[in-house]
Structure 1
Amino acid sequence: MGSLSLLGNAGSGNQAERSDHVYPLKGLLLALGLMLVVAGCGSDQNVPPPRMAALSSTRAADVVADRHMVASANPLASAAGLEILRQGGNAIDAAIAMQAVLTLVEPQSSGIGGGGFLLHYNAARQKIESYDGRETAPTQANGDLFLDKNGQPIDFHSAQIGGQSTGVPGVLRMLDLAHREHGRLAWPKLFQPAIRLAEQGFPVPPRLAAAIAEDPDIAHLPAMRNYFYGKDGKPLAEGAILHNPALAATFRDIAAHGADAFYFGRFAQDIVATVNAHAGRPTAMQVSDFKAYRAVKREPLCTTYRAYRVCGMGPPSSGGLAVAQILGMLNHSDLASLPPNGATATHLLIEASKLAFADRDRYVADPAKVRVPVRALLAPEYLAGRAGQIHLNQAMDVAQPGRISDPLTVGQASEHQFEPLSTSHLVVVDDSGNIVSFTSSIESAFGAHLMVDGFVLNNELTDFSFRPADKGRAVANRVEGGKRPRSSMAPTIVLDQRDRPVLAVGSPGGPNIIGYVAQSLILMLDWQATPGEAAAAPHILNRNGPSLIEEGTAAEKLAPALAQLGQKIEIRPLMSGLNIIAFRRGQLIGASDPRRDGVALGD
């Protein structure tokens, strides 16, 4: 009835793309004098279970370690995290150092000009905590932010470029909060790898070079052009050495004076001045918005799947809730008894995803502004009813949001809001068994295309619904002053029934994050895939529209069987960036998505 679904060969069609983007790690680290950082790291020593090996001959490298491990979207960021762990730092310390380096080497995806969500597993207490560093809208922003003079939504590109799309950055305040509660090394030490790289220079990574070349807006923005173009007036090529003395100075100030330097000092003033000077449309950001910003420590969203406890981020991220709903509905199916390469398992995942996205679009927003019925949406009887709407032999067209016992007076935007496929994810396990699973973003590639003090500003306000009302009812995710836009970020940590860690995972990819994470969890928990197999597996996902099949992979072979079930199919590139660490047989096994530049490192 089908060929490959949830797991299989990575396919030949993407080989050219991946080979173009394979980071020359050994040569790069030698050039920078960093080989000592990665000496002794694990290698591909883990043999997959026979069933999985028979299904997948191509996978990302499974890196094996005994003490500690990191995985991120860039080798230099991973090397920085490993350096901190070797100095006695813990998972929080390493994550801060890695985010600082990602601000430098992956400016198109994340950085201190954006926000993020972080899950932390406290090994001593066997407890998961979650930290919300999502951006906020300026206090004076309102539902007209992205409407034209006729009250109609403007196009995404017009909304993205310029200060009107920039929210108050939250990632640095969130990391400061997590460090105050759990950090082991001194705060200034955590910025030294990034400062060193910014001053000495680093080779432009493959994906950054590609992002610069593919972005025509950079050429028309002086600050961006001066940094991302060479003296010859051309976009920087892969391998060109790039220095960022402005960011080095920024990090020195933040290292010396803490996050308050960012929110109460010159950086807040510089950001406000830049945003207001470059606003394509009026912006209301003020320095007082920075002083008022607070990172929020929230209860993690944990649910049961099979014999596991799966924990993610609650609202304002929709990621944890949507993943939990998908898994909750699939709890009513015995996936482990189905062929991982069959159409039935894939069809079930697609249908559960449609139902989860319908609820996401209707109900999820900032819980400080909208009452989000999380308990009702995850109630076993509710999910059983939703699972009952899935038919094995016939696809539903478009799923409708479920009715809950406590209905909200909110509407659903009539258009599907565009969310760019950007962002970054990292995972860390330290010597004590503490874990960080951390997703951060500036939204689109290069965010709002505004640079301040060496870093790029976000365009996260475009994650709000552009329409403030739908059919006479206020949309839950409408723009409001001080509000956090809905996100799809889904950092995840899985525990066993005794609250011992099983794995940590997450991915970039806009709304596709939910599908990437759900698919990887099913692969590893139902079919015992290794992290490398799960990271490399071809993607099939659904956001309550057409089913998306990853172009150039063996997953394309499943299209006829799914179409016969009534699924509308679109074949396109699906650029995930999964980073995974699993706990198996007393060892750490990690992998980084081969579609990006990342690497897992450990001792």
Structure 2
Amino acid sequence: MTAQATLWRSLVGLGFLAAAPTLWPALAQSVAPAPEAPTGRVAKSIGTATKDMVAAANPLAAQAGREILAAGGSAVDAAVAVQLVLNLVEPQSSGIGGGAFMVLWDGKDMTTLDGRETAPAAAKPERFLGPDGKPMKFYDAVVGGRSVGVPGTVRLLETAHKRWGKLPWKQVIEPAIRLSEEGFTISPRLNGLLTQEKYLQNDPVARAYFYDAEGKPKAVGTVLRNPAFAKTLRSIAEKGSDAFYTGEVAEDIVATVTGHATNPGDVTLDDLKSYKVLERDAVCGSYRVYKICGMGPPSSGQIAVQQIMSVLETRDMASLKPGPEAVHWIAEAGRLAFADRGLYVADPAFVSVPVKGLTDPGYLKSRAALVNPDKSMGKAKPGDPPFQKTFLWGASDGIEFGTSHMSIVDRNGNAVSMTTTIEDGFGARLMTKSGFLLNNELTDFSFATVEDGKPVANRVEAGKRPRSSMAPTIVLDSNNKLYAVVGSPGGSLIINYVAKTLVGLLDWKLDPQVAADLPNVGSRNGPTELEAGTEAEGWKAALEAKGHEVKLIDQNSGIHAIVVTPAGLVGGADSRREGVAIGNN
């Protein structure tokens, strides 16, 4: 039996994972596609540990992080190991061909690092407009080089490791090299997503790697080896991130992007060489006795989460059980947050984002006052926050899709919350000869350049970072001590996933596994969205009685949460995906 099979079997035996699902429901055709298709639920038990913990989207990635923590590594050391293994075992969601946001707590300071992809220097606002001047169909824009932004993940990992790493760089990369060479078995989830995928096998490199000779996805249990990725990682281990942003790997990226037969992109060697990770101010706000911190622009995630929580703070959420009354408030708060997000948030190097005003307590109280306890407001309008410069932008909803998330706490109480992405499932459907998939992050920009005669803040521009909804979150208690590490994949639904989980943890005092598994609910300033196939379906009539337009949709979150308790660490990994929360005692 392989080491991987032993790990999976032990996790089943310990109750972390139930038998793998056998049904892989297709996406509903009546709604916009989910970031990644659902592949069934995997029942899980709570994770506990006394020293340290990793909650990540695949057991092999979590195990790599635990191995590094056991060797005395920091939370950042573990994050490097987890991300590089995720590139192998969860390639549809993240990897070194994409970008990430990292939030770090070192016991004193909260730091946020922006490793978001950037538009190449040749990018123009009209990038995703067709010959008729109208926005392209989504997958016409996604598939190929046009959608590929300059990746940021490798430089982000190196930047964080140089500052907070304890173990040698080569050591934290070794688990992924080992797995690349020895191989790992295709999981039920990866097989299920490949089965539903329409575009990936058109790329010859990806087809040779993920599909058999008949063009069918390789079966569950098939051993995948990726010697090309191992070679890339060995080069990065020896030379640092420069081995990715210059030289053979960079040339491979450029050739892959620009060489697409029907939809080429324009990333250059200079674009790669000049990429920079940016340290940004954390967005922090209060919620009852807690302090909630996360990523600022170009992510809209933490601003929107804080806005939602500030509205909910005006209600006694602890007295409400999960049900239609709680959903009413969560959805109405979401409408207000998404209305502001659509108008104000974009890359702060290009747009003056009024972060202070959008999170101002007085402003948020005025927004909360707009919520009628008995009736939905329908479509919310953006507010007029203080501390903003005068400008006129056109509002834009934008399209955002898939990601992965990891939550990590080391034995010294340092924490990492990192959300990482290649955007849509399997990204641009381009695989480099260096062994990794490329992102389609540029489709996170608004396709339309003008709305109501006004320029859209999140339009494509050279060197710009697209707006995101990623919301890696760290919660401190009333004594400014670490309390929780939370985050999720899920495109623009991330905001509602994280808010729901925070209510579960902070108001309802649920353990993180139960909080993660609660039905997903909320509004993105459209219909009130309830998770199909859950008890939330039973809340539809009560919400409609309050005037809500209700839609039942797949909401395939991947919440990973860790809570610090007097007895140690308690973790949860969303049952909708295959992750686990494990640690050392």
**Could you tell me the TM-score, scaled by structure 2's length?**
0.92
**Deviation sequence 1:398-435 (CA, Å, 0-9, x none):** 11111234354242346x42222x21001111111111
Q: What's the CA shift for 1:35?
A: 8.9
Give the counterpart letter for 2:411 in structure 1: D
**C-alpha deviation, 1:127, in angstroms:** 1.5
- Aligned mates of 1:215, 1:222 — CA distance in 2: 15
Structure 1: any 5+ residue segments left out of the alignment?
A: 1-26, 45-57
3-state secondary structure, aligned to 2:423: coil
Post-superposition shift, 1:40? 13
Matches within 5 A, 1:209-248: 209-248=191-230
Counterpart selection for 1:302 from 284, 305, 313:
284
SS in 1 for 2:122: coil
Partner of 2:430: 450
Q: What CA distance in whole angstroms lies between the structure 2 residues aligned with 1:512 and 1:252?
A: 36
Residues 199-598 of structure 1: matches in 2 within 5 Å?
199-278=181-260, 280-281=262-263, 283-337=265-319, 339-405=320-386, 406=388, 408-413=390-395, 416-420=397-401, 422-452=402-432, 453-598=434-579
Q: Is the 8 A contact 1:41 1:602 kept in 2?
A: no
What is the distance in 1 between the residues matched to 2:268 and 2:14? 47
Cα shift at 1:186: 0.5
Match of 1:67 among 51, 55, 75: 51
Asked if 1:82 is matched to 2:82, the reply is no
Counterpart residue type for residue 356 of structure 1: A
CA–CA distance in structure 2, aligned partners of residues 341 and 208 of structure 1: 32
Query: 1:154 corresponds to which residue?
Result: 136
Report the alpha carbon displacement of residue 210 of structure 1 after superposing the two structures with TM. Answer: 1.0
Tell me, in whole angstroms, the C-alpha distance in 1 between the residues paired with 2:261 and 2:420: 24
Match of 1:599 in 2: 580
Counterpart in the other structure of 1:20:
none
State whether residues 16 and 44 of structure 2, in contact with CA within 8 Å, keep that contact through their aligned partners in structure 1: no
What is the match of residue 187 of structure 1? 169
Deviation at 1:472, TM superposition (A): 2.0
- Aligned-partner Cα distance in 2 for 1:272–1:32: 40
For residues 474-519 of structure 1, the C-alpha deviation after alignment (integer angstroms, 9 at most, x for no partner) is: 1110100000000010000000122101100100000000000000
CA distance in 2 between counterparts of 1:482 and 1:229 reads 35
Structure 1: distance between partners of 2:8 and 2:533: 35
Residues 64-97 of structure 1, C-alpha deviations (whole Å, 9 max, x = no match) = 1100111100000000001101111110000000
Counterpart secondary structure, 1:303: strand
Q: Which of 121, 128, 145 is equivalent to 2:110?
A: 128
Contact 2:185 2:221 in 1 (8 A): yes
Q: For residues 81 and 4 of structure 2, what CA distance do their matches in structure 1 show? A: 20
Q: Which amino acid is the alignment partner of residue 83 of structure 2?
A: Q
Name the SS of the counterpart of 2:420 in structure 1: strand
Distance 2:173 2:288 in 1: 41
Tell me how far apart the structure 2 counterparts of residues 30 and 156 of structure 1 sit (CA, whole Å).
Answer: 37
2:522–2:528 Cα contact (<8 Å) kept? yes
Q: CA deviation at 1:345?
A: 1.8
Corresponding residue pairs, total: 558
* Distance change in 2, residues 1:271/1:565 (3 Å): same
- Between the aligned partners of 2:556 and 2:361, the Cα distance in structure 1 is 33
Equivalent residue number for residue 49 of structure 1: none
* Distance apart, 1:291 and its partner CA: 1.3
Q: Are the equivalent residues in 1 in contact too, given 2:79–2:416 (CA < 8 A)? A: yes
- Matched with 1:9 is none
Moved over 6 A (4+): 32-36, 38-44
Given residue 535 of structure 2, which amino acid in structure 1 is its aligned partner?
A
String of CA shifts for 1:306-363, please: whole Å, max 9, x gaps: 00000010000010110011111212112112x2134222111110000000000000
**CA separation in 1, counterparts of 2:186 and 2:487?**
25
CA distance in 1, matches of 2:9, 2:221: 18
Q: Distance in 1 between matches of 2:153 and 2:418?
A: 10
CA shift, 1:233, in A, is 3.2
Q: Are the counterparts in 2 of residues 42 and 63 from structure 1 also a CA contact under 8 Å?
A: no
Q: Is the 8 A contact 2:144 2:265 kept in 1?
A: no
Aligned equivalents of 1:204, 1:122: Cα separation in 2 = 36
Q: What's the % identity of the aligned pairs?
A: 48
Of 277-286 and 577-586, deviating more is: 277-286
Partner letter of residue 382 of structure 2? Answer: P
What letter corresponds to residue 377 of structure 1 in structure 2? L
Question: Are the counterparts in 2 of residues 581 and 591 from structure 1 also a CA contact under 8 Å?
Answer: yes
Match of 2:128, SS state, is: coil
Correspondence for 1:11? none
Stretches of structure 2 lacking an aligned partner (at least 5 in a row)? 18-41
Structure 2 equivalent of residue 141 of structure 1: 123
- Is the contact between residue 28 and residue 203 of structure 1 (CA under 8 Å) also seen in structure 2? no
Between the aligned partners of 1:553 and 1:33, the Cα distance in structure 2 is 30
